[in-house]
Amino acid sequence: MSEPVFREMRESDLPVLFEIQCDAEGQQMAAFTSTANDREAYLAKHRRLLADDRIVRVVVELDGEVVGSAASFPLGEEIDVTYWIRREFWGRGLAGAALAAVLEQLAVRPVFASAAYDNAASMRVLEKNGFKRVGEERAFAEARGEEIEEVMFRLD
């Protein structure tokens, strides 16, 4: 496996990113994500997001293949981050490296994130990038169809 490439997201990346995010096991793990798997709605939403200058978007490529992404985005008054890697590539440090690539481009602090209480891998990604746990709350996890504990993180 060659070294990963982290680059700005393009509209041509959206179809493969949609397919990556349709993975049922990934959706269960992420918990707080849509399971609608509606390609046209996804493409329309993300085309709009690509036009938003407030959002930092990074795509992860391995050997020329898109295998994931990371981004920062406004959520109310806060800036939050997200990341998603194709399941076959989990455990290789790609999510953490992609998040670091986003954070390098993001001048604002604090930055916020959250993870399902049982998503230890995602919490490690955040902690390795300097995020600190700042609390927990119960929230509805669409991918699981129930309310679960969500661990909240902050990077100053």
Where does the chain show beta strands of DSSP type E?
Answer: 5-8, 56-62, 65-75, 78-85, 111-116, 132-141, 146-155
59 three-state secondary structure: strand
Q: 12 — phi, psi (to 5°)?
A: -65, -15
Q: With a threshold of 0.75, does the pTM exceed it?
A: yes
What pLDDT shows up at residue 34?
82
Domain span at residue 62? 5-155
- What total of structural domains would you count in the chain? 1
- CATH code: domain of residue 22: 3.40.630.30
**Measured at the alpha carbon of residue 144, what is the angle toward residues 77 and 33, in degrees to the nearest 5?**
35
Q: Are 61 and 79 in contact (CB under 8 A)?
A: no
pLDDT in tens, the chain (156 residues): 689 999 999 999 999 999 999 999 999 989 888 878 999 999 999 999 999 989 999 999 999 999 999 999 999 999 999 999 999 999 999 999 999 999 999 999 999 999 999 999 999 999 999 999 999 999 999 999 999 999 999 999
What pLDDT shows up at residue 1?
60
